[in-house]
Amino acid sequence: MARKNTSDDAVAASTAPKQKKPKKTRWYHQVWDVYKLTVENDPKSRWYIWGSALGVLALFLILALIFRAGTGMMIYMGIIGLMFAPLAAMFVLARRAETVQYSLIEGQPGAARAALGTLRRGWSFPEEPAAFDAKTQALLFRGVGRAGVVIVTEGPAKAAERLAEKETKRLSRMLPNVPLHVLHTGNEEGQTPLPKLTREVQRLKPKLTKAELAEVDKRLTAIGRMQLPIPKGIDPTRARPDRRGMR
């Protein structure tokens, strides 16, 4: 009886339909998804994208006419224009898509951390905030890089300033020789708009060596990060713009 069951299982396994592997997403599919998302939230962007491509193509053809090029040169310039036109469109798409994605996350809890997640290598910003004001919902994120320790806040200006002041005093005692930088994210006076946040961080000049950076990072890790009463489900601090799509 056992042999019969074994043979039946083997036959069933051989006749069972094989599961298809998930199709690999191609780069042009990602570009198309980014284009649809951008146009959906910013309808005017389609005119900038296609206009830039046609403008580059027209520029090469006009140059050929100015220099009174022959038919062969006109075709050659047209081919070059066709090569550079998609690059111009992709560049404009990347800029418009970046603006759209920032507008979609702006105002949400953790938007500052989402923007900081697009920084290149050399910066380390933990996912969880280092401080939190339950009353005003102000958040404070703390990162480290060659420029030193960067404190980034979001939320109401006064509450964010209180969080930053308290964290700055604490870190000044623990890391007395490490540069501290404070950036307040928002649209109020004295705050940094969300789309400009990563640019401001990247402008900070390196002050620490790699060895000093490793030591500072080790100390900050030892401090630990506070555990916040965030409900289960989607964590807004893990949301970030699609870097691959924006490329």
What span, in angstroms and rounded, lies between the C-alpha atoms of 23 and 37?
A: 22
* pLDDT at residue 77 in the model: 85
Instruction: Give pTM, 2 decimals.
Output: 0.66
In the chain, % helix, strand, coil (3-state, to 5) comes to 55, 10, 30
* pLDDT at residue 89 in the model: 92
- Enter the DSSP assignment of 192: B
Residues of the chain with pLDDT below 50 are: 1-4, 11, 13, 225-237, 239, 245-247
- pLDDT tens for residues 159-205? 999 999 999 999 999 888 899 999 999 888 778 888 888 889 989 99
